Structure formats: C-alpha cells, structure tokens
C-alpha cells in the first residue's frame, strides 16, 4: 500500500485539505476505490494535507489524474 498526499499551506490549509478530500472521495468511488482509507492531517500550524492509502496498482492512475504532492509507504 502507498500513501498519496496533497499538501496545502496557509491560514485555511486544513479547510482546503478537507474540501479536497470530498472531491477525492468522489473520484475514488467512481474508480472502484471507494473503500480506500483517507483523511486529513496537519504536520504543523499553517499546514493541512489530504491523504489516501491505495494499492500500488492504483498509484499511477491517481498520479496522472490528481497529481499528489508526496507519496510514501502507508502505515501498517
């Protein structure tokens, strides 16, 4: 499993990440990944990130369609 993240910065970073998460959930549902774990996190003040954990087979399609800012191994 891989974790893809979309980072946002500034005073409304958490809100922007939360809003993106809504659109991400719609995309995942349309593409057969509706049950993928996802959420919003913050690593410091002024930062928010939407994230999703997906199987490695789904990574390339998500990268091409939604251009995540970061990728790493999903927590186990």
Can you give the residue ranges of every domain in the chain?
2-70
Average of per-residue pLDDT across 25-36: 96
- Residues 71, 53: contact at Cβ < 8 Å? no
Give pTM, 2 decimals.
0.94
pLDDT digits (tens, 9 = 90+) for 41-71: 999 999 999 999 999 999 999 999 999 999 9
Partners of residue 6 on adjacent β-strands: 50
Task: Quote the crossing angle between the two packed helices 56-66 and 13-30, to the nearest 10°.
Answer: 120
């Amino acid at each position: 499993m891989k974790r893809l993240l979309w980072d946002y910065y500034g005073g409304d970073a958490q809100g922007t990440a939360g809003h993106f998460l809504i659109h991400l959930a719609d995309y995942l549902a349309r593409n057969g990944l509706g049950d993928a774990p996802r959420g919003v996190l913050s690593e410091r003040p002024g930062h928010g990130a939407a994230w999703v954990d997906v199987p490695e087979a789904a990574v390339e399609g998500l990268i091409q369609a939604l251009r995540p800012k970061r990728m790493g191994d999903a927590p186990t």
